[in-house]
């Protein structure tokens, strides 16, 4: 672990920058600072091809035939004509003209490297890199990520590459391979030694690829081994209730009250849950299912199982509106059965609360629906056996742990989310959770038609809304009040509300409004008017994003849609298409939107599949962002990328499972290297197994 200042070319000053900017403290750290791509310096492009190569750097071979200074004052620049066998292009320098003029030799063959830019219909190359042909190094040149401060210390990509060369000269690097040979062979991986050399100094693209593949694989394999081992440790520690009875509650409901046949996916998931509950271990299951796939019903059946086995059950929702809706729909489902269902939210009155607390403690109240209010320590159960958490990503880990503590043996936990997480991410982030997926919608749903409209088409959108309302349908209009406290957003919402009231005047039309700054009672009043069909239009913020169920609503208009993330757009769209009618989602955006926004709109228009949308989201935002900032720092992968290396994640998982099946404690000679790495990882990484 030699400190980086002892590397040739790195004094105390540069060492400071390396530490601060990229966390490189030692020789070892620097070895693991990998290039993110390679430029093939043996390939030459032609000037004539430049218009087709926009935005990628080009390497040209040719000569400068003349140069001159143009412009004056701040626009003064040095311009040169550069010529190859296919044509001519201008080179431009806005700074350093004196030095460039001195170093250029007219008509001498040089190699030039840079990115062309277009001005009007002409192309030029600003500030190209130039090397005399005799000094040109062929082969691959690694490109290292650099920063402004690093560059200021002459540690741009090239500077970093030079340091890597120094390092190679200064200490011969010999790595022991901790992957068994059989795994290398089976997966056609090169040795660690070879990989560490080739990743920094490849001669060919193939060498660079082979090196990256090997290093990514070992990183992911170790991660998966770690997750699997952590899960095993957690499991052996976690005692859980056994539900061995299917009793009256479940059976009566299933046979007499269930208004429809369960879908195949619902049945399968229920089976998975039931098998968890017979193991004697604590269940920690994530239930993923697209909006409208019928997760609530699965939750209800699971809760009835808990009741049949003598336990109480609770369902926690992220918002008050949702808790109220769940409470109502569960009561409706259970109508005619002898089950006591309670509701507890922030606005439950003290007096009612006392009654509720008592009923929970003496076991009279069997089912409790609520919000965060459930977490309070004053809420105690006689014998809580199951916690269902709806829309998981809004609750933190600490909050969940508080639910576990509400019984001496932790209750089973079922987490439901409508934000599909790509499989490879789920495998990694939720390594310790079991995942069930409802991948089938109840029959008879018509796919939602989604369109993207610009602000100038608003009148036509209003016209369309009127047609739908005339057919008896209802319409949502959602504004991006992403931070409920932001004044500007709030003003937009209110202006929007007024504009809607003008365009849809009384007495023909009635408009509701719901947002986060209302009093809960007002919110409920407005929401209920819409639910009962007394208003045709609901102007709202994302408070209606999750769960709200109004089957007669068939149009979802999303204002400033470019400001929403993909998963939010998909969630919002899921508020319609819940009834028998054909439904529509209209994404309104400004005229000019960024390429990423454009991609989000196109994805929404193209598909209704939540998993496909989640994949695109992952590509656009990266795994850290997707899983929330709280969790982004957890996986500091050095070379693998969870978004792009999905197939490798799956392969690493498979190999990890095979290794542990063959040798659960990694005691075989062949696995001693792996064992060492794993012990190190388990010790050095904070316990994030319970992240989910």
List of residues contacting ligand ADP (CB under 6 A): 260, 262-263, 266, 289, 291-297, 418, 442, 549, 578
Say which residues have a Cβ less than 8 Å from residue 193's Cβ, sequence separation at least 6. Answer: 173, 174, 175, 177
Q: 262 touches which of Mg ion, ligand ADP, none (CB within 5 to 8 A by kind)?
A: ligand ADP
Q: Burial letters for 48-69: b for 16+ Cβ neighbours within 10 Å, e otherwise?
A: eebeeeeeeebbbebbbeebee
- Closest approach of ligand ADP to the CB of residue 585, in Å: 16
- Closest approach of ligand ADP to the CB of residue 299, in Å: 8
Residue 184 burial (C-beta neighbours within 10 Å; 0-12, 13-18, 19+)? middle
Q: Residue 545 and residue 551: Cα distance in Å, rounded?
A: 15
Q: 579 touches which of ligand ADP, Mg ion, none (CB within 5 to 8 A by kind)?
A: none
Residue number, 407 or 571, with CB nearest to ligand ADP = 571
Quick one: tokens of 408? 């001496």
Residue number, 548 or 659, with CB nearest to ligand ADP = 548
**H or E, element range at 658:** helix 646-662
Q: Does 289 bind Mg ion (CB under 5 A)?
A: no
Q: 549 touches which of Mg ion, ligand ADP, none (CB within 5 to 8 A by kind)?
A: ligand ADP
Q: 297 touches which of ligand ADP, Mg ion, none (CB within 5 to 8 A by kind)?
A: ligand ADP
Pairing state between β 553-558 and 474-478: parallel
Residue number, 326 or 357, with CB nearest to Mg ion = 326
By three-state DSSP, how is residue 387 classified?
Answer: strand
Residue 243 burial (C-beta neighbours within 10 Å; 0-12, 13-18, 19+)? buried
Which segments of 306-438 are extended strands (E)? 312-316, 341-344, 367-370, 384-390, 412-417, 434-438
Q: 289 touches which of Mg ion, ligand ADP, none (CB within 5 to 8 A by kind)?
A: ligand ADP
Size of the site for Mg ion (CB under 5 A): 1
Q: 583 touches which of Mg ion, ligand ADP, none (CB within 5 to 8 A by kind)?
A: none
Residue number, 283 or 323, with CB nearest to Mg ion = 323
Residue number, 119 or 254, with CB nearest to ligand ADP = 254
Quick one: tokens of 503? 């365009």
Residue number, 285 or 295, with CB nearest to ligand ADP = 295
> If we measure between CA atoms, which residue out of 324, 309, 5 comes closest to residue 167?
5
Residue number, 137 or 332, with CB nearest to ligand ADP = 332
Which residue number places its CB atom closest to ligand ADP?
294
- Closest approach of ligand ADP to the CB of residue 403, in Å: 20
Cα angle value 621/626/631 (rounded, 5°): 125
Positions in 527-566 near Mg ion (CB under 5 A): 547
Which residue number places its CB atom closest to Mg ion?
547
Residue number, 124 or 419, with CB nearest to ligand ADP = 419
- Closest approach of Mg ion to the CB of residue 329, in Å: 10
- Closest approach of Mg ion to the CB of residue 551, in Å: 13
Q: 292 touches which of Mg ion, ligand ADP, none (CB within 5 to 8 A by kind)?
A: ligand ADP
- Sheet with 474-478: strands ordered across: 449-454, 584-589, 553-558, 474-478, 537-540, 511-514
* Alpha-carbon separation of residue 173 from 27, 167, 191, 298, 485 (angstroms): 10, 9, 13, 56, 56
Q: Which residues bind Mg ion (CB under 5 A)?
A: 547
């Amino acid at each position: 672990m030699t400190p980086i200042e002892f590397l040739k070319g790195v004094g105390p000053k540069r060492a400071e920058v390396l530490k601060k900017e990229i966390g490189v403290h030692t020789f070892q750290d620097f070895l693991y600072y990998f290039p993110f791509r390679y430029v093939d310096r043996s390939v030459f492009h032609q000037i004539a091809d430049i218009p087709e190569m926009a935005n990628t750097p080009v390497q040209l071979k040719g000569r400068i035939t003349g140069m001159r200074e143009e412009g004056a004052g701040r626009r003064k620049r040095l311009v040169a004509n550069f010529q190859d066998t296919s044509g001519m292009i201008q080179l431009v320098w806005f700074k350093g003209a004196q030095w460039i003029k001195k170093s250029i030799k007219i008509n001498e063959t040089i190699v030039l490297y840079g990115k062309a830019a277009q001005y009007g219909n002409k192309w030029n190359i600003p500030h190209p890199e130039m090397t005399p042909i005799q000094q040109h190094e062929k082969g691959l040149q690694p490109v290292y990520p650099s920063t402004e401060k690093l560059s200021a210390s002459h540690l741009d990509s090239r500077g970093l590459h030079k340091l890597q060369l120094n390092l190679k000269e200064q200490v011969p690097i010999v790595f022991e391979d901790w992957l068994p040979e059989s795994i290398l062979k089976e997966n056609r991986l090169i040795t660690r030694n070879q990989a560490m050399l080739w990743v920094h100094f490849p001669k060919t693209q193939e060498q660079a690829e082979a090196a990256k593949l090997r290093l990514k694989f070992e990183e992911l394999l170790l991660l998966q081994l770690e997750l699997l081992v952590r899960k095993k440790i957690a499991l052996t520690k976690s005692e859980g209730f056994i539900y061995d009875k299917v009793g009256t509650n479940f059976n009566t409901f299933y046979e007499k009250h269930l208004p429809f046949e369960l879908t195949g996916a619902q049945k399968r998931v229920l089976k998975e849950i039931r098998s968890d509950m017979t193991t004697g271990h604590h269940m920690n299951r994530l239930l993923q299912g697209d909006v409208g796939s019928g997760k609530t019903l699965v939750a209800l059946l699971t809760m009835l199982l808990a009741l049949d086995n003598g336990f109480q059950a609770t369902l926690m929702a992220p918002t008050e509106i949702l808790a109220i809706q769940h409470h109502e729909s569960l009561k409706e489902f259970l109508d005619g059965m002898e089950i006591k269902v309670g509701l507890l939210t922030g606005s439950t009155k003290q007096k009612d609360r006392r009654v509720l607390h008592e009923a929970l403690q003496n076991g009279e109240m069997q089912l409790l629906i609520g919000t965060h209010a459930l977490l309070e320590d004053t809420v105690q159960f006689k014998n809580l056996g199951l916690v269902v958490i709806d829309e998981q990503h809004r609750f933190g880990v600490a909050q969940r742990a508080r639910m576990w503590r509400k019984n001496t043996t932790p209750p089973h936990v079922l987490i439901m989310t409508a934000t599909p997480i790509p499989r490879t991410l789920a495998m990694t982030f939720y390594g310790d959770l079991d995942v069930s997926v409802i991948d089938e919608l109840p029959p008879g749903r018509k796919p939602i038609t989604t369109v993207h409209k610009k602000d100038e088409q608003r009148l036509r959108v209003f016209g369309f809304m009127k047609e739908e309302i005339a057919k008896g349908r209802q319409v949502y209009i959602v504004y991006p009040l992403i931070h409920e406290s932001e004044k500007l957003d709030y003003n937009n919402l209110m202006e929007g509300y007024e504009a809607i009231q003008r365009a849809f005047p009384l007495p023909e039309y009635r408009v509701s409004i719901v947002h986060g700054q209302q009093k809960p009672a007002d919110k409920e009043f407005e929401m209920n008017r819409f639910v009962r069909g007394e208003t045709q239009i609901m102007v709202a913020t994302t408070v209606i994003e999750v769960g709200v169920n109004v089957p007669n609503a068939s149009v979802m208009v999303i204002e400033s849609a470019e400001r929403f993330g993909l998963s939010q757009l998909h969630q919002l769209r899921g508020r319609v298409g819940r009834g028998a009618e054909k439904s529509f989602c209209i994404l309104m955006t400004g005229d000019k939107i960024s390429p990423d926004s454009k991609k989000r709109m196109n994805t929404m228009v193209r598909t209704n599949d939540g998993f496909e949308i989640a994949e695109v989201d992952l590509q656009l935002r990266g795994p850290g962002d997707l899983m929330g900032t709280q969790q982004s720092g957890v996986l500091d992968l050095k070379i693998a990328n969870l978004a792009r290396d999905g197939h490798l994640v799956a392969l690493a998982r498979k190999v990890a499972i095979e290794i542990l099946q063959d040798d659960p404690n990694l005691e075989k000679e062949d696995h001693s290297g792996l064992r060492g790495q794993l012990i190190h990882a388990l010790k050095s990484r904070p316990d994030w197994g319970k992240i989910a």
